[in-house]
Chain A
Amino acid sequence: MDRAKIKRELENLAAEGLPAEPPQEETPVEVQTEAEGEDKAKPKAKKDEDVPRKNGLIETEYAKRGTHLDVQINPDQVVKAAEILDAEGMTLEMVTGVDWLKEGQLEVIYDYSYPGGQLFRVVVRARLDRNNPDIPTVCHLYGGANWHERETWEMLGINFVGHPQLEHFLLPEDADFYPLRKDFKP
């Protein structure tokens, strides 16, 4: 496991998923201020979660958050992220989701940890449109993702494209609701 390599590769991955850069005509001075602005925006977004976070990598403080790296990427990049982490011997500890009703988004969170000795925890997250919650599965890389994704699907209605068995698991077979969605009324 190479921390620096994981950080670099995930940073590049997150940068790939960012919306197109503004036109290049801008002067270098402006680019610099923009970069500064981005740096400032990062801790701000961490403090105030009401503003949806931009894609990118944050080094979180372990003592406060319990994780070392926190990276947000586009939904179609989660398989690439899993490949990067799998190659470095990381294990997928859990997959979970959060419903952000106000923003009209669903978030999928992947928790990776390293079983080889060194303490290293990485969180990969992706935000989906609430009306079209499709995200590719990572089952083929991590067998353990099967149950976790299946549970996330049935609790939050996140559709894991390519999952071998999206059937009811913990809930009854005839459940036609998603109980962990914030607009669920029992």
Chain B
Amino acid sequence: MSSLAQSQLRETFELNIGPQHPATHGVLRIKVVMDGEYIDRAEPILGYIHRMHEKMGENRTWNQFWPNMGRLDYLSAMAYNHCYAGLMERAAGIEVPERAEYIRVITAELNRIQSHLLGFGAYIMDLGGFTPLMYAMDEREQILDLLESVTGSRLTYCYFRFGGVYNDIDDDFITGTRAFLKRFRPQIPMYHKLVTGNAILMDRLIGVGPISADMCRKYGATGPVLRGSGVNYDIRRNEPYSVYPELDFDIPVYKECDSMARYMVRMDEMVQSCRIIENALNKLPEGPVMAEKVPKALKPPKGDYHYAVEAARGTFSMRTVSDGTNTSYRMRLRSPTYSNVSLFEEASRGMLLSDALAFLGSLDPVIPEMDR
């Protein structure tokens, strides 16, 4: 803390960052009480893009809720699709054909790479480097084209169905994905050469925004934030779902607890996602992509159900209470950055304002998913 902050003659002022500010990745507002250049208290203010998805879940049938899953986290919508599919398949006891599960994993991991790529580009842009975003966007475009060819949409996917996926992938998609992997793999070392080793970037990230593992636990932080704090926790491994147990991949963990560690976790995760996709493509079985006899009007038995998946930003979990009818009695969406950003207030105390923005970017918030 500055010497000014410790003196008796403290004079503070309020500063609003956002809701329209490029560094907040959307309409997040942070009310900051500043003490000179240092932060006294930073309070994130949410709700600017609140759409009440949970109430929508109570108003429409199980099937009608599908499009909402693409509109929470618009960067990793596939994982959200996966969670809803898994939740209802658990509730209604639907068996999913193996091929469908492999397709789910392939598309979800492509989506994860895409999300991390934008996260990487936008993060460096927050810190003042514009060019990496162009590189990231170039690669990202390839993925969006691939996913568009099977799902029909570029971001707000509504591809999964209860019991499988909406349509099968074709040979074009498979060869396209293989070509993308071949092209993308050498890019990551190039990013590291271009960006990670940069002295300015290292100065701005190393040691900035330390979050201990215990703080993550208290705040329920997950995903790259938790893994950047040395905790090896990934739903794909710790609470295996879909066909992840059959696939070969590592969980990158960094012990440094700073912004650089979180950045590195995301970079390494892209490499691992490539491994998963390649592995899944090699193992892709033949067969149907939809379960037989899935009722059109789903009526899961009474009770409450819980399902969790690893989205690009951490644990996304859903809890639903079914009353045995064709709509949900209560639908709860637990989004990862809601919990991740909730630790910002405590962690940013006494931080330099410029460091705080570097720190916020390392949490990689997506506002529509926080506000729901």
Contacts and interface: CB of A to CB of B under 8 A. Distances in A.
Interface in B193-209: none
Given A119-B238, A119-B239, A147-B338, A169 B46 contact: yes
A115 B306 contact: no
A170 B329 contact: no
B55 A94 contact: no
A4 to B, nearest CB: 20
A109 B334 CA distance: 13
Contacts of B185: none
Nearest to A184: B55
Interface in A119-152: 119, 121, 123, 141-144, 146-148
B332 interface: yes
A22 interface: no
A141 B218 CA distance: 7
B9 interface: no
A142 B218 contact: yes
Given A47-B302, A91-B217, A170 B317 contact: no
Contacts of B343: 143-144
Contacts of A170: 46-47, 50, 371-372
A64 B94 CA distance: 11
A94 B47 contact: no
- Give the most central of A99, A147, A172: most B CB within 10 Å: A147
Contacts of B307: 66
B226 A115 contact: yes
B90 A66 contact: yes
Interface band, chain B: 35 or more
B342 A66 contact: no
Contacts of B159: none
Contacts of B245: none
Given A92-B220, A142-B220, A170-B371, A65 B342 contact: no
A146 B218 CA distance: 11
A83 interface: no
B190 interface: no
A171 B372 CA distance: 11
Interface in A73-98: 89, 91-94, 96, 98
Given A92-B220, A142-B220, A98 B329 contact: yes
B46 A111 contact: no
B47 A171 contact: yes
Interface of B: 46-47, 50, 52, 54-55, 58, 87, 90, 93, 215-222, 226, 231-233, 238-239, 301-308, 315, 317, 319, 321, 323, 329-330, 332, 334, 338-339, 342-343, 346, 371-372
Interface of A: 46-49, 63-67, 89, 91-94, 96, 98-99, 109, 111, 113, 115-119, 121, 123, 141-144, 146-148, 155, 168-172, 179-180
21 contacts: A47-B303, A49-B302, A65-B90, A66-B90, A91-B216, A93-B317, A96-B330, A96-B332, A115-B233, A116-B233, A119-B238, A119-B239, A123-B306, A142-B218, A143-B215, A143-B343, A144-B221, A147-B338, A147-B339, A147-B342, A169-B47
